[in-house]
Amino acid sequence: MAVFEDRRKTAAVFEDLESAVRSYCRSWPVVFDRALGSWLYDESGRPYLDFFTGASALNYGHNNPLLQRPLIEYLCSDRVIHSLDMFTVAKRDFLRALDEVILQPRRLHYRIQFPGPAGTNAVEAAMKLARKVTGRTNIICFTNAFHGTSLGSLAASANPLMRAAAGVPLEHTTRLPFDAQALDQAPDFRLADLVLEDAGADRPAAVIVETVQGEGGVNVATPEWLRGLAERCRRQEVPLIVDDVQMGCGRTGPFFSFEASGIEPDIVCLSKSISGYGMPLALTLIRPELDIWEPGEHNGTFRGFNPAFVTGAAALRAYWQDDALELSTMAKGRRVAATLAALAEVVPAEVQARGRGMVHGLAFARPELAHEVSAAAFDRGLLVETAGPQDEVVKLLPPLTVTDSELDQGMALLADAMHSVC
């Protein structure tokens, strides 16, 4: 009773002072204090295995010492923190690391724009630039997509609750069926062909797509569908934007989620784990011939956060100089997929396992069960969120650096939670 009363008094501070828009704290009603590796600890010291990782902003875990050490050294040396888009040593080092470690080995040629601190900034810049380049306005997007909550990116997002909060019409987008809605069938481009190739229709300014829809319910596009989409965009001279905000930086195995399909997008949006340490940083990667911005035409006060450059460069050099992390992620992902598939077979509820790399989901035919499983997992010390149009999917985003024993422990906690609910 005393513990409950202490929690009530603690929660009152947030309830009295913080906006009602807060959400994750409603699912996980404790006050977190410390974090290390795959673990979060509340202020009483109770550990929670983190299979949420800041919605994939912490692919390398919490307070990774390989990234923490250069950050502390930088902060203790009176180095530049805020710089808008001025030249700094930290930015130069980050640009070199991204080019030498990621782009050059993949034979990718992109200009790098720093549009602001969040993924939605990267998407807004991509859509705005595509419209400027083409002189057209409409953006093709997909069912169950999520691209952010600022007005431009929200127009391309499907979440009805977030769209309703806009307060204005969300226009200049056309939504097509995402590939995962045609599972076990050949890729179907009939609607896409009508929109992109009909001589009587105006061509769009761009097509924006996620290769795996995370917030949309862990819907995985096939390589064949992505290649077909990219070919149609190329043929019609429509820029293809890949939103890799949540699925980039190794979440699906390779650094970019589109690598497995063999496509080369015209524009790529990155954020979340690109800073390596959970600090705000976003990038819009632009095919050079599309980089027609005028100086200052698109800007933002916090587009040059130097501590994030430091940890971002350290993460690239620590984890992407070879394929060790990619191979580890793929191997762990196969273990998770096999465990979830077996679990889906033995529980009495109707549930489907889905995923790729280290993003996985359990989709429940009865949506309320997903919330109940997530809550039961939290009670057992495991953080997993829900996703999908009806929050019907229990979504797993473990750190890519999770140990085998931690992975096994997390899967055991999830199985116990499911058996307690189903």
CATH code, domain carrying 180: 3.40.640.10
Say what the pLDDT of residue 359 is: 98
Q: 278-325: per-residue pLDDT in tens?
A: 999 999 999 999 999 999 999 999 998 999 999 999 999 999 999 999
Inform me whether the pLDDT recorded for 6 exceeds 90: no
Residue 269: which pLDDT band, with cuts at 50, 70 and 90? very high
**H or E element in which residue 25 lies:** helix 24-27
Inform me whether the pLDDT recorded for 10 exceeds 90: no
**pTM metric for this prediction:** 0.95
- Taking the C-alpha atoms of residue 341 and residue 351, their distance in angstroms, rounded to an integer, is 9
- Based on the fold, state whether residues 182 and 88 are members of the same structural domain: yes
Share of the chain above pLDDT 70, in %: 95
Inform me whether the pLDDT recorded for 1 exceeds 70: no
- Based on the fold, state whether residues 287 and 334 are members of the same structural domain: no
Kind of pairing between the strands at 39-42 and 47-50:
antiparallel
Residue 103: which pLDDT band, with cuts at 50, 70 and 90? very high
Q: 35-84: per-residue pLDDT in tens?
A: 999 999 999 999 999 999 999 999 999 999 999 999 999 999 999 999 99
- Taking the C-alpha atoms of residue 81 and residue 241, their distance in angstroms, rounded to an integer, is 30
- Based on the fold, state whether residues 127 and 274 are members of the same structural domain: yes
Kind of pairing between the strands at 173-176 and 139-142:
parallel
Alpha carbon of residue 241 to chain centroid = 15
* The two structure tokens encoding residue 289: 């011939």
Say what the pLDDT of residue 12 is: 85
- Based on the fold, state whether residues 281 and 335 are members of the same structural domain: no
Cβ contacts of 257 within 8 Å, gap of 6 or more = 210, 211, 212, 242, 244, 247, 248, 251, 357
Q: 198-235: per-residue pLDDT in tens?
A: 655 678 999 999 999 999 999 999 999 999 999 999 99
- Taking the C-alpha atoms of residue 127 and residue 297, their distance in angstroms, rounded to an integer, is 14
383: closest CA among 396, 364, 371?
396
Cβ contacts of 110 within 8 Å, gap of 6 or more = 103, 268, 285, 286, 287, 288
Q: 122-138: per-residue pLDDT in tens?
A: 999 999 999 999 999 99
- Based on the fold, state whether residues 292 and 177 are members of the same structural domain: yes
- Based on the fold, state whether residues 120 and 207 are members of the same structural domain: yes
Sign of torsion over alpha carbons 148, 151, 155, 160: positive
Please give the single-letter amino acid code of residue 398: P
Q: 388-400: per-residue pLDDT in tens?
A: 999 999 999 999 9
- Based on the fold, state whether residues 167 and 234 are members of the same structural domain: yes
* 3-state SS, residue 374: helix
Cβ contact 154:274 at 8 Å: no
- Taking the C-alpha atoms of residue 323 and residue 339, their distance in angstroms, rounded to an integer, is 25
81: closest CA among 310, 371, 244?
310
- Choice between 7 and 24, residue whose per-residue pLDDT is larger: 24
The boundaries of the domain holding residue 234 are: 67-319
What's the rounded mean pLDDT across residues 145-150? Answer: 97
C-alpha separations of 314 from 65, 74, 96, 421 in Å: 11, 12, 11, 42
* The two structure tokens encoding residue 209: 């797509």
C-alpha separations of 228 from 175, 263, 359 in Å: 17, 10, 24
- Based on the fold, state whether residues 142 and 226 are members of the same structural domain: yes
Boundary (domain end) residue, out of 276, 299, 319 = 319
* The two structure tokens encoding residue 122: 């990267």
Please give the single-letter amino acid code of residue 406: E
Q: 401-411: per-residue pLDDT in tens?
A: 999 999 999 99
Inform me whether the pLDDT recorded for 383 exceeds 80: yes
- Based on the fold, state whether residues 113 and 214 are members of the same structural domain: yes
What's the rounded mean pLDDT across residues 243-258? Answer: 98
Cβ contact 73:67 at 8 Å: no
- Torsion-angle region of 276 (φ positive above 0: left; ψ -120 to 50: alpha; else: beta): left
- Based on the fold, state whether residues 339 and 406 are members of the same structural domain: yes
Residue 380: which pLDDT band, with cuts at 50, 70 and 90? very high
- Each as own residue / partner, the long-range contacts of residues 344-351 (CB below 8 Å, 24 or more positions apart, any chain) are 347/418, 347/419, 347/422, 348/422, 349/418, 349/421, 349/422, 351/422
Could you give the angle at which helices 65-75 and 306-319 cross, rounded to 10 degrees?
150
> What's the CATH code of the domain at 40?
3.90.1150.10
- Total tally of structural domains belonging to the chain: 2
Boundary (domain end) residue, out of 293, 319, 345 = 319
- Based on the fold, state whether residues 306 and 274 are members of the same structural domain: yes
Could you give the angle at which helices 89-97 and 306-319 cross, rounded to 10 degrees?
30
Residue 180: which pLDDT band, with cuts at 50, 70 and 90? low
- Based on the fold, state whether residues 368 and 288 are members of the same structural domain: no
Boundary (domain end) residue, out of 276, 298, 319 = 319
Inform me whether the pLDDT recorded for 270 exceeds 80: yes
Residue 89: which pLDDT band, with cuts at 50, 70 and 90? very high
What's the rounded mean pLDDT across residues 95-119? Answer: 98
Say what the pLDDT of residue 381 is: 98
